[in-house]
Structures are given as structure tokens and as C-alpha cells.
Chains A and B, each alone.
Chain A
């Protein structure tokens, strides 16, 4: 009866931005990214990849309320880099890693199909 529509978990409303950035005033080189209409699928991936970056001092995410579909990601870097750059690099790395996985999967499939013909 009170259930919200299921498409609300991934459909952006009018005027809602996908991602907003706020600088953290308490420390240097830190920013909080708010991403709308996303869940742990993306947030955990980004956080894990950010932690692999040597320039990143802090990376963590939380979902403020399970009924609101958004997450906030806090990133703090060394002065050599800045949070936006770290995040962009992390996303680019993730895209290339997934392309690699796709390629390896296709190669393994081809191998399997060829060995089935023998």
C-alpha cells in the first residue's frame, strides 16, 4: 500500500543530478560525492578501486537511508592529487578492467567451443 514504485530505484527525477560534489571544509583535498539512483553495486566497486590508488588517503561510502536510493562517497587524497581526479582515474581503471574481463571471457568461451569440436 505504501510501497514506492520499483522504477524509483534507478530512474532519475526531473532536476535531479546524477552526481554532486561538495568540498569537505574540515580537511584539505577531501570531497564528498553524492550519487543519485545508485546502490552498493557501483558504490562498493568505486570504493574498492579508489583504495588501490596510492594517492588516496581515505575512501569510504555509505547509503544514508535504505529507502532513499543514493550513496555518498567520501574521498581524501594527498596534495599531489585531488579527489575528482582520483575518482575519474578509478572509474577509467574500472572500465578497462571490465573490458579486459570481457575479452578474457570471450577468449575462454572460444577455447571451450573449439575444444568441443575436437
Chain B
């Protein structure tokens, strides 16, 4: 869910209308998108927009004016002290519930942006912003503001093989070449020997190649069928639910395809 249409009533700040609208769209909203529907097509006309449906829209209002602070000390120079509402943060966005939304979301504590301290704009004395925004459901493919995923990466499990047992002083040097925790030096038959204990922590730095005697003995590679995924969420859903939803998206792609095949060509080609 992200802001799609902004209704600006008054903007006398130094931030241009379109820049302000762009920034508002990028603010992540703490609302489970699965509880909402996509807006049906053909609903983009202005008069229809004003009648937002409670099932597909979240409405926020922002009304803020910057004033001089009468209680500030005479010789104060800190702008945060001198003026009230100098900085417009995302916590100033007020949720305007539509229809049955209060009942549905009271157990979540209402709908609000994920972070309260996102700076939207800065105001000078006498400047004000008054706007309403409608948030709708969308996909990250359309615009990144709708993507619930912050960063998603994967790597393959590193594999470190010691072609020869490494003992004594060499073992300690080997341990220093890798990230802490990868190599452990254990006492075996009285001699400290190096053992690869946790290759997952390896960062594939090439420190080992700086030691001429060690670089021949160590083989670094990757396990080709072991993937380590890292998924970060923007905040509207926890990352484990993102993975489940992603699998569902893939499944739906397959289901749509197979339905089309079976409807049109009944397996008789």
C-alpha cells in the first residue's frame, strides 16, 4: 500500500507540489496489503476518486503550519526551538478511517506510516501544507513504492577445503586469514591443527592469497546447490511472510498459465 493520489489544498512551502507528492508516495505504510483489494479499473476519474472505497483505499491527511515559538528564549539560535512545526515528519500524517476500517484495524492500533521520523518537508515561518492522500494497493513492478521488500539477496554457501592438514604456527596464521569463527585451531595429538568449523561465516576475502605457503593448501569454492537468502522488509510485513507471499506469487503465475492451456487446448495437440 502506498500513496497514489495526493489532493493538495494548500502548499506554500519551498518544496514543489510534485516533489512533495513524490516523497509522500515513497513513505511505507504499516498496513497489511492482503486485507485490501486492488482498485478496479476505470476508477481514475476525479469525481470517483473523492468517493474512496473502504475496501481498497487508505486516506491520510496532513495539515501543518509553521509558526514562531512565543516561549523561546530571546537569544536562542536553535531553529527547532525558535519555531513550531519547522520540520514536517511522517508522524504528522493523520489517518482518516473510511467506512468499516476502524473496526478492522483497531487491533493493529490503526493505520500509520511504518516510521514516524521520516522528514517530508521543512517549513519557514508562515508556510503551511494542507493535503489529503489516498493510498492504494499495487505491485513493486509498477512502481518501487509498492514493493514490501527492501533488499533481497542470495549467495551460495562457501566451501573451504584444506588439501593438507595444517598445524602449529601455520594454523594460527590460517585462522587470522579468515573471518572470525570460520577456522578453529584444536589440539589434535598434541599439535594445534586447523579445522574448518563454520564456512557460512566466510566473506570470501582473498587474504589467504597473500601468504605464499598457505595459498596452495587451501581451496575456496562454493556449494552449488546450497543458497543463503537474505530478505529485508520495508516494515509493512515481516520478512518471513514476504517469502511465503513470493512463493504464492510464483504459484499463481503457474496456475494462470495452466488454466489458460487447459481452457484453450485440451491436451490434444
Q: How far is the CA of A18 from the CA of B141 in the complex (A)?
A: 18
Q: Is A55 part of the binding interface, using a Cβ–Cβ cutoff of 8 Å? A: no
Q: Which range holds the interface residue count of chain A?
A: 20 to 34
> Is A63 in contact with chain B by the CB < 8 A criterion?
no
**Which residues 26-41 of A have a CB within 8 angstroms of B?**
31, 35, 38, 41
Q: Is the CB of B142 within 8 A of A18?
A: no
Are A91 and B142 in contact, with the CB atoms below 8 A? no
Q: Could you tell me the distance between the alpha carbons of A107 and B254 in the complex, rounded to whole angstroms?
A: 24
Whether A95 touches B265, Cβ cut-off 8 Å, given contacts A41-B250, A102-B247, A105-B244, is no
Instruction: Say if the beta carbon of B240 comes within 8 Å of chain A.
Output: yes
Give CA–CA (A83, B255) in the complex, Å: 18
In the complex the two chains form, what is the Cα distance from A18 to B251 in whole Å? 16
- Per-residue 0/1 for B225-253: is the Cβ within 8 Å of any A Cβ (1 yes, 0 no)? 00000000000000010011001101101
Nearest B residue to A8 via CB reads: B142
Considering the complex, give the chain B residue whose CB is closest to the CB of A18.
B260
Kindly state the interface size class of chain B when it binds its partner. Answer: 20 to 34
Instruction: Return chain B residues, CB-CB under 8 Å to A84.
Output: 261, 265, 267-269
- For residue B143, CB closer than 8 A to chain A, the reply is yes
A99 CB contacts on chain B under 8 angstroms: 251
Q: Which residues of the other chain, B, contact A62 by a CB distance below 8 angstroms? A: none
Q: Cα distance A78–B264 when bound, in Å? A: 23
Q: 0/1 per residue, B90-114, Cβ < 8 Å to A?
A: 0000000000000000000000000
Q: Is B267's CB under 8 angstroms from A85's CB? A: yes
Residues in chain A near residue B48, CB distance under 8 A: none
> Contact at A42–B261, with CB atoms within 8 Å?
no
Contact of B244 with A18 in the complex, beta carbons under 8 Å: no
Residues on A with beta carbons closer than 8 Å to the beta carbon of B253: 38, 41-42
- Check A98 against B247 for contact (C-beta < 8 Å): yes
Cα distance A101–B250 in the bound complex, in angstroms: 12
Q: What are 18 inter-chain pairs, A to B, with CB distance below 8 A?
A: A6-B141, A6-B143, A17-B260, A19-B257, A19-B261, A19-B264, A35-B257, A41-B253, A42-B253, A42-B254, A82-B267, A83-B269, A84-B268, A87-B261, A88-B262, A92-B258, A98-B250, A109-B240
